[in-house]
Each structure stands twice: as structure tokens, then as C-alpha cells.
């Protein structure tokens, strides 16, 4: 009787432990036998599908990363170009200042014009420094401000040359 009871309990545990899942790792050999090879192949197919989905997600993430890196490089190049333009504008202002210093005022009218040019020179120099230090400006805003400054410096150079 005891052997029958032990055999019955063993069969119940084996059946419950093995036949509840089609995964041989969890259900053991009996689970594989009960559910058959088709369930194993189906589970294998599901795993392959999940792997392909994850590979596609990784590929998309890599593409996005490369695209962001290209944009970052392009912005860096544009900012470098703008910085060079600011340096050139600063040099132009220094040249204007030097030419004004070399000019002797012929009359009081020329002195007043010279003062106005000096005032505008300081104003433009301040604007250049403000653009240089303003890190909140977008590349496009910076470019627009530099173009405006370039026009103002050119006009000031013409005025200074006429003194």
C-alpha cells in the first residue's frame, strides 16, 4: 500500500511539475513529451522574433545616434565659423580705431564726427562681446546678429575712411 501511495504521489508531482508548461527547462522531459516538439518549435520561433525586434530597435538607435552626431558636428563647424567671423569683425574694429587715432581733426565738425565714430565703435565692440559670451543664442540667431554687425562695421569703416 505504501508503495502504491508513494507511486501515486510521485506521478502527481511529476505530472503537475512537467505537464503544466511546454518549456522543457521548466516542465522537464514529461512536459516536452506531453506538449510535443511543435510547442518547442513555436517557443523557439517566438524567441527568434523577439531577437529580431530587439536587433531592429538597436539598429534604429544606432542610426539616431549617428544622425545626432552629424548634427552636432555641423553645429560645431558653424559655431567655429561664426567665432572666426567675430574675430575678423573685432580686427576690423581695431583697424578703424587705429585709423581714427592717426587722423588729426581739421576742425570741430571733424572732431564731432570722430566722437560719434568712437561712440559707435564702442557700441559695436560691446555687441561683439555680447554675442561672443551669449551661450543661449541658437546658431541661426547668432548668424543673423553677426550679419547685422558685419553691415554696421562696414558702414563704420566707410565713415572712418572719409574722416
pLDDT of residue 147: 93
* Residues 123 and 80: beta-carbon distance below 8 Å: no
Confidence of residue 61 (pLDDT cuts 50, 70, 90): very high
pLDDT of residue 19: 45
End-to-end C-alpha distance for the chain, whole angstroms: 125
Please report which confidence band the pLDDT of residue 93 belongs to, taking 50, 70 and 90 as the band edges.
very high
**C-alpha cell read off for 44:** 523557439
Is residue 1's pLDDT more than 80? no
Pairwise pLDDT comparison (26 vs 144), residue with the higher score: 144
116 vs 34, residue with greater confidence: 116
SS3 for 19?
A: coil
Q: Please tell me the predicted confidence (pLDDT) of residue 73.
A: 96
75 compared with 34, residue with greater pLDDT: 75
- Secondary structure, 3-state, 28-63: HHHHHHHHHHHHHHHHHHHHHHHHHHHHHHHHHHHH
Question: Whole-number mean pLDDT of the chain?
Answer: 81
| Residue scoring higher pLDDT (121 or 161) | 121
Amino acid at each position: 500500500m505504501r508503495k502504491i501511495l508513494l507511486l501515486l504521489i510521485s506521478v502527481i508531482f511529476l505530472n503537475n511539475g512537467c505537464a503544466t508548461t511546454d518549456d522543457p527547462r521548466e516542465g522537464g522531459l514529461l512536459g516536452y513529451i506531453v506538449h510535443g516538439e511543435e510547442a518547442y518549435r513555436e517557443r523557439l520561433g517566438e524567441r527568434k522574433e523577439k531577437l529580431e525586434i530587439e536587433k531592429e530597435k538597436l539598429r534604429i538607435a544606432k542610426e539616431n545616434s549617428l544622425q545626432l552626431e552629424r548634427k552636432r558636428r555641423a553645429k560645431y563647424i558653424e559655431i567655429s565659423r561664426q567665432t572666426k567671423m567675430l574675430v575678423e569683425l573685432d580686427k576690423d574694429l581695431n583697424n578703424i580705431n587705429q585709423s581714427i587715432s592717426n587722423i588729426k581733426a581739421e576742425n570741430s565738425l571733424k572732431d564731432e564726427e570722430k566722437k560719434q565714430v568712437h561712440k559707435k565703435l564702442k557700441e559695436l565692440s560691446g555687441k561683439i562681446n555680447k554675442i561672443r559670451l551669449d551661450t543661449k543664442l541658437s546658431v541661426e540667431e547668432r548668424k543673423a546678429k553677426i550679419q547685422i554687425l558685419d553691415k554696421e562695421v562696414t558702414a563704420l569703416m566707410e565713415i572712418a575712411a572719409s574722416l
